[in-house]
Structure 1
């Protein structure tokens, strides 16, 4: 028989340590021959990113032991950091190492081989960063994007497409690095055609973000030298997000001239054909260069993602057919890291009760084989919430998609007549989205009797360009209103306690949290993780180059809208703060730096508003270390208990300042 206890005070088998252990998330899947490779975060190893591979009939094994850390800083979010390439010496693993940001090469089958650098040591730490490595047509060079720091400001960065000799000559002599092209301020990795006669890439310039407008470039190749490029797709209001060669004379690209990311075949003769016109997103926002939403299967067939669902597009017939990749009784959600292998496709798949894992699906039979393992700390499914997909009416008549995660614990029930507290979870970006999949940090709360609703507010991806651009010049307005509308609807229908609503989010979600607490009266409190809080400071050099002009579209161009920057910033509105706030911040964050949080903390001093600020050394944007994840999550639960009126079990009490 279930025990009766206040919502929020239920005992749960899901600990903060379990959540940290589950953060060992796979990423950057690829295939070479019959082997599947992927990178994998290791919270217990200080957030190191390991490289793993799996061969048929063999368990996965780690390829590079510590201290090798397969990650880079391109755009600060990192780009594809590894590839297995066929050089004149044979198959080689090429990867970027976090500690020095250099490119390394190693024979992955030579036991005990030590990776050797093939890029020069930079003059300043992390002065050069590289991403999307690929091999030149003759196998003698590695081609990639290089990001170079040119000064002391966060925006002092330039990018080139460069060639690094496989023989390592550039490791000792920087003049051996060959610049291939520099068509735009931002660049994707170069992709030579199968016959080695052409090369393709895409790029964009400030103030555009890659989901606003990009240009797909093609140049002739002569002896490894790029000729003048021409633009074959894209433009100011058309965004190419992935391109692959489809034979020697044509490209396939995900682009959105009609407002939806569809797959197009683009001939070198200038012809363009949408392979399946549909009002569906087959692509997504390019936060990390090298993302893959589709994979060529051969015979005019392509594996694609329909807003996370795996499907096969047959270009000859124009049909788009879902693949039955059932996970936990629901269609699996696949990440943008698809790769074709044999008769199938591999990638990262997750479900409502399954942690993201690397899997391979046989497209002929639909058989799904997991290659990675589920976390050992994954709890009994009875303690995991079942997300309910909902659509709520918005304040401007626009529908607001969301996923509701109700409290779930078979051992407890709330007191009769009591409604649970609810957290509104705001995704980052803001050009991003959430799916209805297992997130153990959400289960940490729901298993204790605190409901969560994750909102795809206006500006989210997955619903077409028009929905995405609802946020144009309205950041801090549309996102705030949409999230509040969802929270208030849950309260009005009796699902949530209207007096115990809170809001939480990281990065852009931290912005919406703080903007909400200083503009609407919906919430009692909120948690802002590594947030943006001062738009003026952020636009004047406090963020990295990639997003330094993002606010041109989200808020408005400067100096014309300077008042808007000032008036919407939470640091200038602390007198309107609706309730207590918890700030969680990484001290090495170059995207939302600690000075943003410190400015708000300073403004709160002496005002009598309960608040707390926890800063974590060694953390960048987002938390990767197990000890950080544990401390932050326990602090958050204690914070909600103190403000929303319940006594959480087994967590240290967070000290609130006033």
Structure 2
């Protein structure tokens, strides 16, 4: 094919902002209901709701519940597993789920009458929230994690393990909910029951720790009434992160601990706490526990264990705990998400690859066969437009590695003019304890197919590379992340990959902090896109965010009482006078993690300084955009920013973004 020549950024592309937005999101939270496989699927064109989908035995797929049912919990604001299926002898299964609009638990018989509420409305603040419901054999109730607000402030909250009756007696009566634990611990995961039903295990942690800093594995015995007795800490502590616990068929515990510096799988004696590493590798078998109910590991009935493992990306494997050997699942998928389910010899998960979007995948452990069974990938366009990511490792000034995924400009019909280097966008992920995934994302293709390069930076502090890499950011937020992104940008420019005069930086949430701080403290970037950001560490630490992250900055910046000046020195809000490059700021008006007030104060500091910028807000959007119209408008605005700053024609269908000084 003869390639046409056009300036980078102006290449015609079949990927419109609307097309990319319509494919935003991914399936999540797989499980089984009788012979069926169920999962949560995003519906960006339906106001961003999450639909519960079902795969029938005949291979057909259909929604379980129509709109407006939105299967999603707001526990800890980031959510968690919102549904389960309760087996019932002599009857079909009962599905229990959290509805986003009111956060109540509901029970529903598939194909039966409308769902009925199981829990009441809360009396204070954000009310009652439920996550990771667990069926309990022989009891007409589900056990789950309860988050209960006791007042109007974000910190007016308690969390306990609770038993919810399935007969609906608690639908209007909070006292009918049986509390299984006290609230001595600030944060918990939902319980797991031993095979004989006589013991429970769960995780707990307290401020100022985040779950990747240190957690405790707790166990308790159950009496005939289902009351927890003899609660004790079996393993873990302030310097050991246990990300998940499950019971093995033989009555031992399986835990994912990073006591070696890497999250590895352990078998734990529930009586003595003695533990054995089942696969000692410098790889991650878990990740940061942002959502309750994430599952990186699931035991199989025959004693084998389905696990996710790897450095950076994670793949599915079957672990033989007797030998410590791993057998990786075959197939094209390079990235699996932490939502595994087991049904007999089947392992069900969600996986993707650089040329495949996330889909529900089944592994038959008897035959070794893997196949997509739900939300199968279909190309919405010619796959010749997909970029080919390159995993790169750069070197920081202090010698540390910096991991990144590079997406060069790619269009099968176009190339840039001779001698013209392409513009590049440096993307900083959120978290900051998170990482980037090298998988198909039409938002990335939206830019690369037009001739704009993308590089996703797993800066110091990112998950996926061991505890030491995560702790590079300890007390260094606003420094290490900013420097690592700048190092990657400078390396790309120095090697002739990117145009040094046309570099942008972009990020959301914690990545928004990194973006704003980069614009305020360096002159490396020509412009930036800031999404739902943290901008004022001082306000954040003084009650300006939700409870989960309210003490997060003690590890990222330092204790406020000891280093108060550092909170101002690092915050983009107080360094706004250093910003000279144009920027776009995008904010959801319902965001309780990074409230709009921070963006408004930041804009007030920038006002009158002659810096071209635009501020777009979105009703009905919280932390992270879910509605297709929001995603499309945000993408088009971002492209318009780059076209104006980098000097190319964005083409038809891209509204001009008004930049005001």
Deviation, structure 1 residue 284: 0.5
The match for 2:9 is 8
- Which residue, out of 461, 464, 470, partners 2:463? 461
The match for 2:289 is 286
Map 1:64-213; keep pairs closer than 5 Å.
Answer: 64-87=65-88, 90-110=92-112, 113-124=113-124, 126-182=126-182, 183-213=184-214
**Range with greater deviation from structure 2 (135-144 or 210-219):** 135-144
- Is the Cα–Cα contact under 8 Å of residues 136 and 224 in structure 1 kept in the other structure? no
The match for 1:304 is 307
**Range with greater deviation from structure 2 (342-351 or 68-77):** 342-351
**Range with greater deviation from structure 2 (131-140 or 587-596):** 131-140
- Is the Cα–Cα contact under 8 Å of residues 6 and 646 in structure 1 kept in the other structure? yes
Counterpart Cα distance in 2 of 1:317 and 1:574: 57
- Which residue, out of 525, 530, 540, partners 1:528? 530
**Residue 480 in 1 paired to residue 476 in 2?**
no
Counterpart Cα distance in 2 of 1:653 and 1:152: 41
Deviations for 1:9-60, whole angstroms, at most 9, x for unmatched residues? 1110001111111114201111244321100110110011100111343211
Map 1:175-324; keep pairs closer than 5 Å.
Answer: 175-182=175-182, 183-222=184-223, 223-247=225-249, 249-270=251-272, 271-307=274-310, 308-324=314-330
Counterpart Cα distance in 2 of 1:262 and 1:79: 22
Gaps of 5+ in 2: none
**Range with greater deviation from structure 2 (543-552 or 318-327):** 318-327
Deviation, structure 1 residue 298: 2.9
Gaps of 5+ in 1: none
Deviations for 1:524-566, whole angstroms, at most 9, x for unmatched residues? 1110100001110111111100000000000000111110000
Deviation, structure 1 residue 109: 4.1
Map 1:374-393; keep pairs closer than 5 Å.
Answer: 374=376, 378-393=380-395
SS at match of 1:171: coil
Counterpart Cα distance in 1 of 2:228 and 2:595: 38
Calculate the TM-score normalised by the size of structure 2.
0.97
Deviations for 1:469-514, whole angstroms, at most 9, x for unmatched residues? 0000000111111111111111111010000000001101111101
- Is the Cα–Cα contact under 8 Å of residues 249 and 299 in structure 2 kept in the other structure? no
Across the two proteins, how many residue pairs are aligned to each other? 652
**Range with greater deviation from structure 2 (86-95 or 242-251):** 86-95
The match for 1:38 is 39
Counterpart Cα distance in 1 of 2:366 and 2:627: 40
Counterpart Cα distance in 1 of 2:306 and 2:192: 19
Calculate the TM-score normalised by the size of structure 1.
0.97
- Which residue, out of 589, 593, 596, partners 1:594? 596
SS at match of 1:612: strand
Give the root-mean-square deviation of aligned CA atoms.
1.4
- Is the Cα–Cα contact under 8 Å of residues 356 and 377 in structure 2 kept in the other structure? no
Deviations for 1:216-264, whole angstroms, at most 9, x for unmatched residues? 1000000211113111111111111111111363110111111110101
**Residue 420 in 1 paired to residue 426 in 2?**
no
Deviation, structure 1 residue 78: 0.4
The match for 2:548 is 546
**Residue 326 in 1 paired to residue 353 in 2?**
no
- Is the Cα–Cα contact under 8 Å of residues 71 and 96 in structure 1 kept in the other structure? yes
Counterpart Cα distance in 2 of 1:376 and 1:366: 24
Counterpart Cα distance in 2 of 1:268 and 1:152: 40
Counterpart Cα distance in 2 of 1:384 and 1:46: 27
